[in-house]
A and B are shown apart, each in its own frame.
Chain A
Amino acid sequence: DIQMTQSPSSLSASVGDRVTITCRASQIISIYLNWYQQKPGKAPKLLIYAASRLQSGVPSRFSGSGSGTYFTLTISSLQPEDFATYYCHQTYNTPGGTFGQGTKVDIK
Chain B
Amino acid sequence: EVQLVESGGDLVQPGRSLRLSCAASGFSLDDYALHWVRQAPGKGLEWVSGISWDSGSIAYLDSVRGRFTVSRDNARKSLYLQMNSLRLEDTAFYYCAKGSSMSITNVLEYFDNWGQGTLVTVSS
Nearest residue (CB) in A for B96 is A43
Segment of A13-21, A65-73, A92-100 engaged in the interface with chain B: A92-100
B109 in contact with A91 (CB, 8 Å) = yes
A32 in contact with B107 (CB, 8 Å) = yes
Please report the total number of A residues contacting B with Cβ < 8 Å: 26
Please report the total number of B residues contacting A with Cβ < 8 Å: 28
Alpha-carbon distance between A81 and B24 when the two chains are bound, in angstroms: 27
Q: Name the residue in B48, B57, B100 with the highest tally of chain A Cβ atoms < 10 Å from its Cβ.
A: B100
Alpha-carbon distance between A55 and B104 when the two chains are bound, in angstroms: 20
Alpha-carbon distance between A102 and B39 when the two chains are bound, in angstroms: 12
State how many angstroms separate the Cβ of B49 from the closest Cβ of chain A.
8
User: Which one of B57, B61, B108 contacts A49 once the chains associate, using CB atoms below 8 Å?
Assistant: B108
Alpha-carbon distance between A55 and B114 when the two chains are bound, in angstroms: 14
Query: A43-B114, A43-B116, A44-B114 are contacts. A98–B47 as well, Cβ < 8 Å?
Result: yes
Residues in B neighbouring A32, C-beta threshold 8 A: 107-108
A49 in contact with B107 (CB, 8 Å) = no
Residues in B neighbouring A92, C-beta threshold 8 A: 107
A43 in contact with B115 (CB, 8 Å) = yes
